Structure 1
Amino acid sequence: MAKMTEQEREEFLAAPHVGVLSVAGAPGRPPTSVPTFYAYEPGGEITMFTGTQRRAPKRIDLIKAAGVVTLVVQREEMPPAYVTVEAELVSVGKPTPEQMLTIARRYMPEEHAQGYVQTELGDPENIVTFFTFRPTRWFSSDTSR
């Protein structure tokens, strides 16, 4: 196993991997982890959004309270590789449809991305929250080398 260079890890994170976002749990509770779509450009910040369905309201509160998260992305096929990023919360707000589409288009065809965003924004009981994180610490491994 070999660590990736800075350029390799940033390019790896910029690829459309499904990430696993982890945030510290409430006192006495374990961390919360959830698969997530995200966007990242090398040298930039990580962005993602979540609605208030299911457990998201608690997760949103945990992210705001902790101010830091861990995002793990991995290569699904062999040989295994991963990048783990510890990141600090930069901003929380309401996303624009275009911000949401930028993320959704990374993972699905255009017509599905449009429908996904319309569904998220179209439910008056679903409050969508947009997060921006700044990477602060990186870990990586690529077993192909």
Structure 2
Amino acid sequence: MITPASAETYKCVDKGVSTYMQTPCPDSATQSLHKSSNNISGKDYQQAVNTSEKEKADLNKLLSARQKEEEKYQKEQRKISAKNEKDKQKCASLQLSAKWAKEELANATAKSMSKAKTKLKKANEKAELQCKSGGGQR
């Protein structure tokens, strides 16, 4: 079994420039029609179809795997983003605590001065540790 395949191609020459098209040339160009014909056996045709179907299935598998990887990546990115936001909030909270401890020290009596200094030192250390370890505001 032989299946003929043919195609028409138009050669358009406009101002010395040749172009090949599947549709007729514009009016400004000179045109010549080229016909090509190939005879393909049924066996070759079926083999080409089978190869095409196999390649299409392989492509679909690759696309599916890629989509799963992209979804996994997006999920990881959302998780990282959520952790970063939580760390930023923690940093801001600790910085606020340090600010309040500083205000307490400024308003402390002589009797509570030592306790207020210790509280401020601890609050500053916690805030510095959280904020330097990727917890946001620096």
- Tell me the TM-score normalised to structure 2 length: 0.20
Kindly indicate whether structure 1 or structure 2 has the higher relative contact order, using CA contacts under 8 Å at least 6 residues apart.
1
Name the structure with the higher strand share: 1
- Tell me the TM-score normalised to structure 1 length: 0.19
